[in-house]
Amino acid sequence: MTQVRTRFAPSPTGRLHVGNLRVAVFNHLFTRRHGGEFILRVEDTDVERNVEGSLEGIMEDLRWAGLDWDEGPGIEGGDRGPYRQSERGALYLEAARRLEEQGRVYRCFCPDEGPERERDGAAQLGCPGGCRWLSDEERTRRLKAGEPAVLRFATPDEPVSFRDEVRGVIAMSAKDLGDFVILRADGRPTYNFAVVVDDVGMEITHVIRGAGHLSNTPKQVLLFDALGVERPVFAHLPTVLGPDRKKLSKRRGAPGVADFRRQGIPADAVVNYLSLLGWSPGDDREILSRDELVAAMDLGRIGASNTIFDPEKLHWVSSQHIAGLSLRALAEAVIPYLDRSRFPLDDEEVAPALDAIRTRIGAFGEVNEHLELLFPPKERFEAGQAELASDPGAPGVLEAVRAALTAVESWEAETLAGAVRSAGKEAGARGKSLFHPVRLALTGDRQGPELGKVLAGLGRDRVLRRLDRSLEALAGGVEEGGHSTGVSQDPSGS
Ligand code: GLU
């Protein structure tokens, strides 16, 4: 195969959302699989729709997702630029001139009927005013008189067909296409023309894009043929629907990179999940690393039917990726999300605390919710203390556990769990009568993550302090014959 060259061609009208990010993902994985070049091209000719700053946002979104590009904005060099359509005006005019010389296009003086009519096609060859059949003299006369004219492609009167890697051969009658405009009266190219001139100039070998573009492709293949350039391979990805089975769109609130970042879904999980929207690796794997995705990506396994974006499935994929992270990597990823006002942890205390709760974390942003298992809000802690006060065995158990833990040298989950068990033997308590008081004293709850990991996660000082507080409260409570005291100062923070 010649060097694979693909492109992602967003319009700078906003940030990336599930739909267009998925297109970038497929292009990127496919290109990396073949050691090719991935190009970022900016389709910014529709000046009114351009949104200030959105190209920078799109580039940031792509970088976050790890979808690096080889040519385009932000990359030095690249000899097939410029990579912004707004800077390619001369190239469009030059290509139009070549087509005009070859008699493949003609000037049309029909009044501008607006983009809707244009998109529908003229439903017959020629234009409404028959400009295709004007004599040369007549055409020259009108041009000289300064009549505004668009440039239309003279669609040959024969069926147009092309091969789509996903759907096979697609054919359309020339009449359905009509003679479409390639240059507007002011000289600006239409979408289909600009895309083809760019794809030719940038030597794009594979056009991978959403099925929404299928209706444009017949016009584009006619232009490739007319320019005498080999057509690229086309693969149109199935449409992504929302959970409500309606087409996802930015306007209808499709989630985007900003949402994934806020939730703390790892970029690898997002890329993995999006790759499964319309594709599968051909076996039953659903969790794939970047390298595995690159190795497996194949246009032949893209499906044609609509696919549904399922946020719950994305969350599951995210949790699987998080489960595969080392504790250190997880801690690093989670620190920016940590609410330090609620959880006064030093950086080195984060990893052990996370070890207790990591199996529950589906996205980095959930860390705060789960850390409450170790650092409960005051009310829950106090409720736990009250419950403790009604357990006559509690003081004995807590004394024995405290003594055993004080003697532990290496403060690690397994050793700590062992120490609690042997303390239980000493105090004649096991099962619930051992674990409930310990958990209530430490976390305010009878249940929770593995006890050894809770102890390791809290650290020696906090554990001993919390046990002391409970013991004091129990002692005080007994004396006063009523409610425990001495636990009302922010226990979770200590
Ligand atoms: N700018 C087009 C879009 O955002 C992409 C054009 C193409 O892939 O051919 O949908």
Tell me the DSSP string of 105-134. EEEE-SPP-HHHHHHH--SSSS-TT-GGG-
* CA dist 245 → 241, 242, 310, 378 (Å): 5, 5, 10, 44
pLDDT digits (tens, 9 = 90+) for 318-345: 999 999 999 999 999 999 999 999 998 9
CA 215: distance to chain centroid? 27
Q: What is the mean pLDDT of the segment spanning 410-417?
A: 97
Look at ligand 1, atom 3, and give the residue with the nearest C-alpha.
10
Residue 113 placed within a domain: yes
What pLDDT, on the 0 to 100 scale, is given for residue 481? 40
Whether residues 383 and 435 fall in one domain: yes
Whether residues 130 and 216 fall in one domain: yes
Whether residues 13 and 46 fall in one domain: yes
Contact (Cβ atoms closer than 8 angstroms) between residue 195 and residue 46: no
Task: Supply the residues annotated as catalytic.
Answer: 250
Q: Which CATH number do you get for residue 244?
A: 3.40.50.620
What pLDDT, on the 0 to 100 scale, is given for residue 325? 98
Q: What is the mean pLDDT of the segment spanning 98-115?
A: 86
Residue 67 placed within a domain: yes
Q: Which CATH number do you get for residue 415?
A: 1.10.10.350
pLDDT category at 112 given cuts 50, 70, 90 is low
Q: What is the mean pLDDT of the segment spanning 140-153?
A: 96
What pLDDT, on the 0 to 100 scale, is given for residue 124? 60
* CA dist 301 → 312, 358, 431 (Å): 24, 35, 53
Average predicted confidence (pLDDT) for the chain? 92
Whether residues 174 and 188 fall in one domain: yes
Residue 17 sits at φ, ψ, to 5 deg, of -120, 175
**C-alpha angle with apex 331: 326 to 333, nearest 5 degrees?**
95
**Domain boundary residue, one of 197, 222, 237:** 237
Determine the atom of ligand 1 nearest the C-alpha atom of 23. 8
Residue 438 placed within a domain: yes
Whether residues 395 and 406 fall in one domain: yes
Residue 347 placed within a domain: no
Whether residues 107 and 214 fall in one domain: yes
Q: How many folded domains does the chain comprise? A: 3
Q: What is the mean pLDDT of the segment spanning 221-234?
A: 98
pLDDT category at 123 given cuts 50, 70, 90 is low
Would the pLDDT of 181 be above 70?
yes
Whether residues 291 and 194 fall in one domain: no
Q: DSSP string covering 152-201, please?
A: EE---SS-EEEEETTTEEEEE-HHHH-S-EEE-TTSPBPHHHHHHHHHHH
Residue 322 placed within a domain: no
Distance 11 CA to ligand 1 centre (A): 7
**Domain boundary residue, one of 308, 324, 358:** 308
pLDDT digits (tens, 9 = 90+) for 343-371: 989 999 999 999 999 999 999 999 999 99
* Cα dihedral: 444, 448, 449, 451 (round 10): 60
Whether residues 53 and 151 fall in one domain: no
Would the pLDDT of 118 be above 60?
no
Residue 156 placed within a domain: yes
Distance 311 CA to ligand 1 centre (A): 25
Residue 329 placed within a domain: no
- DSSP tally for the chain: helices H, then strands E: 21, 11
Whether residues 220 and 117 fall in one domain: yes
Whether residues 94 and 28 fall in one domain: no
**Domain boundary residue, one of 221, 237, 253:** 237
Q: What are the start-end ranges of the H helices in 163-310?
A: 174-177, 191-201, 217-226, 257-263, 267-275, 290-296
What pLDDT, on the 0 to 100 scale, is given for residue 79? 92
Whether residues 31 and 117 fall in one domain: no
Full domain range(s) for residue 157: 88-237
Whether residues 108 and 229 fall in one domain: yes
Q: What value does the CA radius of gyration of the chain take, rounded to a whole number of Å?
A: 33
Distance 100 CA to ligand 1 centre (A): 26
Distance 42 CA to ligand 1 centre (A): 9
Q: Which residues have CB under 8 Å from 132's CB, separation 6+?
A: 106, 108, 125, 126, 152, 154, 179
Residue 333 placed within a domain: no
What pLDDT, on the 0 to 100 scale, is given for residue 472? 95
Residue of 17, 195, 199, 207 to mutate, ligand 1, most atoms within 8 A of C-beta: 195
Look at ligand 1, atom 5, and give the residue with the nearest C-alpha.
9
pLDDT digits (tens, 9 = 90+) for 306-320: 999 999 999 999 999
Look at ligand 1, atom 4, and give the residue with the nearest C-alpha.
10
